[in-house]
């Protein structure tokens, strides 16, 4: 095992192959994640799996917010220095992700082999979360500072491609050709990312102190001036409000009388397309008008989306029809696209303040805090909706998200990034 090393003073040239590598890695993470959160849940529920079991399956997602616990280990050790510090991790983790999906394809009926499915799903979540650490570290070390805005757009945008494939395409294939065809397709899509991994050559770097990967240093990024208020106040507010809003969309549309199939199409496919465009646009806007302005623009888009949902959740007419359908689609797209635009600015700052010698641990900790905020926000949004109604929950979610965007906008890290 090798020890992580600090970067050279001369930045590496970021070529087309490196951008393809980032697209491949971040897309494949969310192919499997979206399938487990959306596609697999729908398939198992359609086969009669009880809601309690599905709830346990959803708990597997908690691996992602806590992956900062082992991120320092990836910074310090590598399975093979000659193949590149983080690349050598990817050469192991990416095939393991593929094999865990192929293992599910060996089952003819996921209901009958539910225990095996849960074990393989847990393995995939662990492998993909660890792969994300290595991918984030490569982003921090491989992108020059002036490329952080576009890099953040790729990170966020690729996730929506994965969401469309894992959440939408998988269900379409399942309906047409069955379980095995759907899972094998996802495995093949995940395997494609091995091509840029094999072609990538990670640059050599100089040694650093052995303490770089110890658990005692995992919170070191918070010592960066301004990082505490950024990571523990401003960004969590955006995640709290945005996740609360998004958590309301599906149950609100169900209660409005929409069919589950149509809701799935809207949330997993239709809304993901403008979100992908928003990620790419957000990265370019960060460079042209500044990250603070981009964050406020994202908050405005999300605000409009949330307001479009208000007449949908307060409508007394049952069923999806006419104006309600249009407002529901525009609302879902606006909420997700607005959060995406804000996220590009947030990710770009996270890339800026992550220390290259602790690339995996720093960026992972920052993103884990945001994920934890999102998890709490989603739960709080549903709880508030049950207690006070969708209208109040929507309003509170919008206020919190906008407050977070304003807090980010006024943060000195945004001004420094410009």
CA distance 77 to 405: 37
Q: Indicate the helix (H) or strand (E) that contains 138.
A: helix 114-142
- pTM for the complete prediction? 0.83
pLDDT in tens, 160-202: 888 888 877 888 888 889 899 999 999 999 999 999 999 998 8
Can you tell me the mean pLDDT for 47-61? 77
Low-confidence winner among 40-44, 48-52, 73-77, 315-319 (lowest mean pLDDT): 315-319
CA distance 349 to 335: 22
Per the model's pLDDT, the better-predicted residue between 134 and 256 turns out to be 134
3-state secondary structure of 222: helix
CA distance 357 to 377: 32
3-state secondary structure of 207: strand
Q: Please state the three-class secondary structure of 72-125 as a single string.
A: HHHHHEECCHHHCHHHHHHHHHHHHHHHHHHHHHCCCCCCCCHHHHHHHHHHHH
Answer whether residue 314 shows pLDDT above 70. yes
CA distance 357 to 43: 43
What is the pLDDT, as a whole number, of residue 417? 53
> What six digits make up the tokens of 366?
């920052």
3-state secondary structure of 121: helix
Answer whether residue 7 shows pLDDT above 60. no
CA distance 205 to 196: 21
What is the pLDDT, as a whole number, of residue 51? 65
What is the pLDDT, as a whole number, of residue 32? 83
Confidence grade of residue 2 (pLDDT, cut at 50, 70, 90)? very low
φ, ψ for residue 70, nearest 5 deg:
-110, 5
CA distance 347 to 283: 10
Confidence grade of residue 319 (pLDDT, cut at 50, 70, 90)? low
User: In this structure, are residues 81 and 2 in contact, taking their beta carbons and an 8 Å threshold?
Assistant: yes
Tokens 């303490």 belong to residue: 211
CB atoms within 10 A of CB 188: 12
CA distance 153 to 275: 11
CA distance 165 to 35: 8
Per the model's pLDDT, the better-predicted residue between 142 and 412 turns out to be 142
Confidence grade of residue 28 (pLDDT, cut at 50, 70, 90)? very high
CB atoms within 10 A of CB 120: 22
Low-confidence winner among 3-12, 101-110, 130-139, 251-260 (lowest mean pLDDT): 3-12
Can you tell me the mean pLDDT for 45-65? 78
CA distance 203 to 127: 24
3-state secondary structure of 126: helix
CA distance 183 to 40: 10
Highest mean pLDDT among 54-58, 117-121, 225-229: 117-121
User: In this structure, are residues 308 and 331 in contact, taking their beta carbons and an 8 Å threshold?
Assistant: yes
Confidence grade of residue 418 (pLDDT, cut at 50, 70, 90)? very low
User: In this structure, are residues 338 and 301 in contact, taking their beta carbons and an 8 Å threshold?
Assistant: yes
List of domains in the chain: 10-216 (1.20.1250.20), 220-417 (1.20.1250.20)
What is the pLDDT, as a whole number, of residue 321? 65
CA 196 to chain centre: 21
> What six digits make up the tokens of 303?
């605000």
Return the DSSP state at 193: T
The CA-to-CA distance between both ends of the chain, in Å, stands at 39
For residue 353, which of 343, 338, 339, 367 has the smallest C-alpha distance?
A: 367
């Amino acid at each position: 095992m090798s020890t992580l090393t600090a970067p050279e003073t001369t930045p590496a040239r970021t070529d087309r192959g490196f951008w393809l590598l980032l697209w491949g890695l971040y897309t494949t993470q969310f192919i499997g994640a979206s399938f487990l959160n959306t596609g697999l849940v729908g398939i198992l529920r359609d086969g009669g799996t009880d809601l309690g079991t599905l709830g346990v399956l959803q708990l597997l997602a908690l691996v992602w917010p806590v992956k900062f616990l082992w991120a320092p280990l990836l910074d310090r050790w590598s399975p093979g220095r000659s193949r590149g510090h983080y690349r050598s991790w990817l050469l192991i983790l990416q095939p393991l992700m593929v094999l865990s999906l192929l293992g599910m394809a060996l089952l003819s009926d996921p209901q009958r082999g539910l225990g095996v499915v849960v074990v393989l799903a847990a393995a995939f979540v662990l492998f993909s979360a660890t792969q994300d650490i290595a991918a984030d570290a490569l982003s921090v070390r491989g992108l020059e500072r002036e490329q952080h805005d576009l890099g953040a757009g790729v990170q966020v945008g690729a996730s929506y491609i994965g969401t469309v494939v894992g959440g939408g395409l998988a269900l379409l294939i399942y309906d047409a050709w069955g379980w095995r065809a759907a899972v094998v397709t996802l495995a093949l899509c995940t395997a494609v990312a091995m091509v840029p991994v094999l072609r990538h050559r990670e640059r050599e770097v100089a040694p650093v102190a052995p303490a770089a990967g110890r658990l005692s240093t995992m919170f070191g990024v918070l010592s960066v001036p301004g990082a505490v208020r950024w990571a523990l106040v401003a960004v969590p507010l955006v995640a709290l409000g945005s996740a609360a809003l998004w958590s309301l969309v599906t149950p609100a549309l169900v209660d409005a009388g929409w069919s589950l199939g149509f809701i799935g199409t809207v949330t997993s496919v239709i809304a993901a397309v403008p979100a992908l465009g928003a990620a790419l646009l957000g990265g370019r806007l960060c460079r042209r008008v500044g990250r603070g302005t981009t964050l406020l623009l994202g908050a405005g888009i999300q605000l409009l989306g949330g307001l479009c949902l208000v007449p949908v959740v307060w409508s007394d007419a049952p069923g999806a029809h006419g104006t309600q359908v249009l407002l529901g689609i525009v609302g879902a797209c606006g909420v997700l696209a607005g959060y995406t635009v804000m996220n590009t600015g947030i990710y770009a700052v996270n890339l800026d303040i992550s220390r290259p010698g602790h690339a995996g641990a720093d960026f992972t900790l920052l993103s884990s805090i945001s994920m934890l905020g999102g998890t709490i926000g989603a739960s709080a949004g549903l709880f508030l909706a049950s207690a006070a109604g969708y209208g109040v929950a929507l309003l509170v979610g919008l206020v919190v998200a906008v407050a977070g965007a304003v807090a980010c906008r006024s943060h000195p890290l945004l001004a420094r990034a410009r």
